[in-house]
Each structure stands twice: as C-alpha cells, then as structure tokens.
Amino acid sequence: MADETSVFKALADPTRRQILQDLRGGEMSAGDIAGRFTISAPSISRHLGVLKGAGLIAERRDANRIYYSLVEERLAVCVGRFLSVVCPEQVVMRRRRGAAASDRSSTR
C-alpha cells in the first residue's frame, strides 16, 4: 500500500502532519507521541498505523515499547517528485544517492 496516494492521504490529516513534525527531533515512543495530543491513545495509534502504511514512519520495538521514527526519504521522494512535476520552477529536490530515474534532466 505504499503508493503515492497513500502518502498524500496520510498527509491530509493535521494530526498526522504534526506527528511527522514532532518526529523530526528523533524517534519517540507511541506514548510520548500520544502525550502531545488531546485525542485518545487508540486514535493516535491508528494515525501511526496510517503513517506506517504510507511508509512515512518506521517502528522499532524495545521491550513493550514501540518507538517510531521518520522515514524522511519517503516523504521527500514522493511529495518532492510531485512538486517537481507540477511546479518545477519553484522547488528543487536535492540530489539523492541512487535517485530514481524520474529525473527530467537532459542527460538521459
């Protein structure tokens, strides 16, 4: 389910975007993440499931805790590629190692 639409659907919810921003500072446990919001832990858990399903976060288990971390490249590649197609004049994707061939540069 790691298609482009799953990423954009995941980004459509403000809570999920906030979670991604919060994870920018490093991995966090599910409880720590939930602690930053007023909605219930199960609701946060499902948001995390959506983000994970989109490939935007990864999980690591330690004892009975689950730590979530950002998968930056997934976000950058998927959204960045779209931006590059629709408004290439305004956004520049930084080169990545093994960048997928959707590069519209002349040398190919």
Partner DNA sequence: TTCGTTATTAGCTTGTTAGCTAACCTCCAA
Partner DNA sequence: TTGGAGGTTAGCTAACAAGCTAATAACGAA
Q: Which is nearer to a second copy, 18 or 29 (CB)?
A: 18
- In terms of residues, how long is the chain? 108
Q: How far apart are CA 82 and CA 88, in angstroms?
A: 9
- Give me 45's structure tokens: 């858990």
Count of alpha carbons within 13 angstroms of residue 104, beta-carbon side: 11
Residue 70 partner contact from DNA, a second copy, none using kind-dependent CB cut-offs of 5 to 8 Å: a second copy
Residue 40 partner contact from DNA, a second copy, none using kind-dependent CB cut-offs of 5 to 8 Å: DNA
Residue with tokens 């909605």: 39
The footprint of a second copy (CB under 8 A) covers 4-5, 8-9, 11-12, 14-15, 17-18, 20-21, 24, 36-39, 70, 72-73, 75-76, 79-80, 82-83, 85-87, 89-94, 96, 104-108
Q: How far is the CB of 62 from a second copy (least distance, A)?
A: 24
**8 A C-beta contact, residue 16 and residue 7:** no
